[in-house]
Amino acid sequence: MIQCMQRRGANVIMVPWDYDPFVKQNANHLRELLQEEGLRSEIEGIVISNGPGDPKYADRTIAITKRALEEKIPLLGICLGHQLLSLAAGGNTKKLKFGHRSQNQPCQMEGSARCFITTQNHGFEVSDLPPGFKTWFTNANDNTNEGIIHTKLPFMSVQFHPEATPGPVDTEWIFDYYLNKVKSKQ
């Protein structure tokens, strides 16, 4: 994920799952890091990455994501990040009967005939969409949600891994789409 963002010209600062950039001490630290690199001194976007387990246990990350939503910072969730963004925005998740664990999961893009072969490794799904969001992708095997996108704001997430390449670069375009939303917000 980091390499995909950097190849597109993004400057990436990786922080732990529970790092709160809105706490004054952390905000000052981030500002210093950005200034050292000669970059703008505010967060321009946040990618909520993958990880293990039940998303509802990540209450600290959910709270931080809620704050980012309130601040209208462009967000991209990937895998667990998809579930965390959904919970932070008011949606819900539940355990799948059979997890998606392969690199051949077909995902249909809503409103199009496009179906992408994706890589996935998760046991939970977004069961209820948050207010203001619509379905972006649906799993063609079991019709579970594979992505959401806000109808007006630059918030989006996918259950699959766009940085993985089960086909050549099937869904890596999602990074371009997200970064265009970040740039248009400036």
Question: Going residue by residue through the chain (186 aa), what tens digit of pLDDT does each one get?
Answer: 999 999 999 988 899 999 999 999 998 988 888 888 887 778 899 999 999 999 999 999 999 999 999 999 999 999 999 999 999 999 999 999 999 999 899 999 999 999 999 999 999 999 999 999 999 999 999 999 999 999 999 999 999 999 876 666 689 999 999 999 999 875
Indicate whether 137 belongs to any domain.
yes
Q: What is the pTM of this model?
A: 0.91
pLDDT score at 73: 96
Asked, for residue 141, whether it belongs to a domain, the answer is: yes
> What pLDDT is attached to residue 166?
65
Q: What is the CATH number of the domain that holds 92?
A: 3.40.50.880
- Phi and psi at 12, nearest 5°, equal -115, 130
For residue 36, the model assigns a pLDDT of 84
Q: Given the residues 79, 107, 125, 146, select the one marked as catalytic.
A: 79
Please indicate, yes or no, if residue 1 is contained in any of the structural domains. no
Where are any strands of DSSP class E within the chain? Answer: 46-48, 75-78, 92-109, 115-128, 133-139, 145-150, 155-158
Specify if 39 maps to a domain. no
| Residue numbers of the domain that contains 173 | 45-185
Q: Is 79 a catalytic residue?
A: yes
Task: Using DSSP, state whether 64 is helix, strand or coil.
Answer: helix
Evaluate whether residue 91 is within a structural domain.
yes
Give the SS3 label for residue 36: helix
Torsion of CA 79, 84, 90, 96, to 10 degrees: 50
The verdict on whether 163 is a catalytic residue reads yes
Provide the domain count of the chain: 1
Residue 69 forms part of a structural domain: yes
Catalytic residue at 37? no
pLDDT of 164: 78
Taking a C-beta distance cutoff of 8 angstroms, is the pair 118, 164 a contact? Answer: yes
- Kindly state whether residue 35 falls inside one of the protein's structural domains: no
Residue 93: its pLDDT value, please?
98
Which alpha helices (H) appear in the chain, and where do they start and end? 2-7, 24-36, 59-70, 80-88, 173-185
Catalytic residue among 4, 82, 161, 172: 161
- What pLDDT shows up at residue 94? 98
What is d(CA 39, CA 131) in angstroms, rounded to the nearest whole number? 34
38 occurs within a structural domain? no
Q: Running DSSP on this structure, what letter comes out for residue 129?
A: P
